[in-house]
Amino acid sequence: MGSSTEVNQQKAGEVLDRLLFPDGVPANLTMGQVLVGVAKVAEKNAETFEAAERFLATERSEDRRRRVMRDDALADLRLVLIKARGAIVNFWGEFAAQDVGFVGTTPAPCVSVVAA
């Protein structure tokens, strides 16, 4: 690691200068100023991470709500399919229902019907 640091010190130093001191490196830089610069970068990253965590939590709660809506819609669709099959069988018979794709029982949950 030491040789890598020596080889890349100029480039790494420039990156650290920009990261720790966006307004320019102070003329008489002290280790205290470096420590403050590191703390500011860590604080900024923590704030960014916290914002991302809040966004993710919100998105997950919305996903949960959407899954419930989807499941309810699929349950409604299943009932519509059962009623449609019943109407076809009552008017035209079982073979007519099979001809339009109603073979066997309507699956529950209805996800497999939608995926097909």
Instruction: Look up residue 81 and give its amino acid.
Output: L
More confident residue, 63 or 116: 63
Q: How confident is the model at residue 48 (pLDDT cuts 50, 70, 90)?
A: very high
Tokens of 22: 């966006």
Q: Could you tell me the pLDDT band of residue 110, with boundaries at 50, 70 and 90? A: low
Residue 113 has a pLDDT of: 52
Whether 96 and 89 have beta carbons less than 8 Å apart is answered as: yes
* pLDDT exceeds 80 at position 112: no
The pLDDT tens digits for 50-94 are 999 999 888 888 778 888 888 899 889 989 999 999 999 999 999
Residue 6: both structure tokens together:
């020596």
Q: What is the predicted pLDDT for the residue at 13?
A: 86
Residue-level pLDDT at 42: 92
Q: What is the pLDDT of residue 115?
A: 56
> What is the rounded average pLDDT of the residues 96-116?
73
Per residue in 7-44, pLDDT (tens digit) is 888 898 888 889 889 998 988 988 899 999 999 999 99
Q: Give CA torsion, residues 89, 92, 95, 99, to 10 deg.
A: -100
If you write DSSP's letter for every residue of the chain in order, what string do you get? -HHHHHHHHHHHHHHHHHHH-TT---TT--HHHHHHHHHHHHHHHHHHHHHHHHHHHHHHHHHHHHHHHHHHHHHHHHHHHHHHHHHHHHHH-HHHHHHTT--SPPPSSTHHHHH-
Distance CA 83, CA 81 (A): 5
Q: Give the residue extent of every domain in the chain.
A: 2-115
